């Protein structure tokens, strides 16, 4: 990440129109892509959990949701600071910004459900459903700039609109950010495993057997 930071500030050229503030783009977009990857982990974990009630899949989903919310927060805040300079306002209610905020709310809600509900199979099942349906918003966020007229800039990577030095810096930053997200999920997964073991969340339910009352003498 340090090398990526050096590339962003010293290797990538300054944008002619936007000036230095355009450099926000590198971590802003990379964080958004990392967040999408994290929410894909929630989707896959949720589907696997609903199929075979695997505690490991549920832990992966929980980990992906938390890390995804962190990356979405970074995306939103960095985007707002870029917008203030370029648009003159921190926030406009266009399709890209609104759908990203909705994405953040969905997965923050997912985490809230996990925190407030009693840990166990029922909470895991309900959260899996929220995680799966929540992922519908990911393609909405991605395609929002092509489906609707937005103030947010359209895709620049697939339209080949970046000069080679900017593209190289972006791809390197994106690779580093995705690896960082994977490391964060792995650490979180280990934390969730230790917490589950401590609280014995997925222990089989104890069957209470009624005993014969002892005769009164």
Partner 1 sequence: MTYLILAYAFGVAALGGYLFWSLRRLRELERIQGGRS
Site residues for partner 1 per CB under 8 A: 5, 20-21, 23-24, 27-28, 31, 67, 70-71, 73-74, 77-78, 81-82, 84-85, 180, 183-184, 187-188, 190-191, 194-195, 197-198
Instruction: Give the span between the Cα atoms of 67 and 173, in whole angstroms.
Output: 18
> ∠ at Cα 188 (132, 76), nearest 5°?
65
Of the candidates 152, 14, 3, 157, which has an alpha carbon nearest to the alpha carbon of residue 89?
Answer: 152
> Shortest distance, CB of residue 1 to partner 1, whole angstroms?
8
> Shortest distance, CB of residue 129 to partner 1, whole angstroms?
26
Of the candidates 76, 68, 70, which has an alpha carbon nearest to the alpha carbon of residue 99?
Answer: 76
For partner 1, the closer of residues 54 and 193 by Cβ is: 193
DSSP state letters, 148-204: S--SS---STTTT-S-HHHHHHHHHHHHHHHHHHHHHHHHHHHHHHHHHHHHTTTPP
> Shortest distance, CB of residue 69 to partner 1, whole angstroms?
10
For partner 1, the closer of residues 111 and 191 by Cβ is: 191
For partner 1, the closer of residues 18 and 54 by Cβ is: 18
For partner 1, the closer of residues 110 and 189 by Cβ is: 189
């Amino acid at each position: 990440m340090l090398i990526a930071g050096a590339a962003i500030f010293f290797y990538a050229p300054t944008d002619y129109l936007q000036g230095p503030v355009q450099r926000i783009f590198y971590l802003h977009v990379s964080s958004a892509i990392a967040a999408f990857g994290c929410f894909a982990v929630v989707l896959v974990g949720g589907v696997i959990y609903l199929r075979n009630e695997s505690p490991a899949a549920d832990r992966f989903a929980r980990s992906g949701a938390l890390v995804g919310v962190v990356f979405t927060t970074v995306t939103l805040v960095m985007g707002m600071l870029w917008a203030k300079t370029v648009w003159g306002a921190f926030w406009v209610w266009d399709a890209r910004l609104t759908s990203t905020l909705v994405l953040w709310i969905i997965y923050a809600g997912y985490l809230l459900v996990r925190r407030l509900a009693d840990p166990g199979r029922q909470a895991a099942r309900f959260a899996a459903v929220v995680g799966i349906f929540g992922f519908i918003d990911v393609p909405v966020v991605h395609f929002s700039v092509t489906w609707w007229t937005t103030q947010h800039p359209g895709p620049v990577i697939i339209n080949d609109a970046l000069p080679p030095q900017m593209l190289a810096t972006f791809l390197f930053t994106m690779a580093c950010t995705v690896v960082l997200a994977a490391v964060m999920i792995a650490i979180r997964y280990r934390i969730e495993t230790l917490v589950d073991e401590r609280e014995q969340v997925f222990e089989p339910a104890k069957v209470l057997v009624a005993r014969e009352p002892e005769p009164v003498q």
